[in-house]
Amino acid sequence: MATTISDGTDTLTATIMDGYSAIRAGRNVVRRVLNSNVPAISLRPAALRRGRHRLVFESESVAEDAAAMLASAAELTLADTDRPNVGMTFVVPEGGDIRVELDDETRDAWIVEFDFQETD
C-alpha cells in the first residue's frame, strides 16, 4: 500500500491516506421556455473533482516537504496503489488550505490536509 504525491521531479510517500472527500459540480443547463412546460436543456459533462485530502506521514520533515510541495506553483500527481480511483493530477486552488498538524493520538505521526482541484 502506498500513497504518493509527485511534482514530476520529487515523489513523497505517505504512511496512509486518512481522508478523502471529492465533489463534482453538475454543469447541465436547464432553461424555462415561455408558454411551455418543457424546458430547453443543454447537456454538459460534470466538472472535474474538487475536495480535500488528508495524508499521514511518519516524520515531521517529510510532512513539511509535502506541505512545501503542495504550496509550490506546480501541477501535482497523487497516486494510491490500493485506491487507484483517487489518483489524479491536481493543484491546490486559489484560496485552498494546506494544513500540517501533529497527530493527537500518537504524538509521533504528522498529518497534512489540503484542498485540491483536479486538472485533467
C-alpha cell at 5: 504525491
Q: What is the pTM of this model?
A: 0.88
- How far apart, in Å, are the Cα atoms of 20 and each of 39, 42, 58? 36, 31, 19
Domains identified in the chain, total number? 1
Q: Give the residue numbers spanning the domain of 27.
A: 3-118
Question: Which CATH number goes with the domain that contains 81?
Answer: 2.40.30.200
C-alpha cell at 61: 520533515
SS3 (DSSP) at 90: strand
SS3 (DSSP) at 65: helix
> Do 13 and 2 contact (CB within 8 A), yes or no?
yes
pLDDT of residue 42: 97
Mean pLDDT of the chain: 95
Residue of 26, 72, 28 whose CA lies nearest to 49 = 26
| Mean pLDDT, residues 18-40 taken together | 96
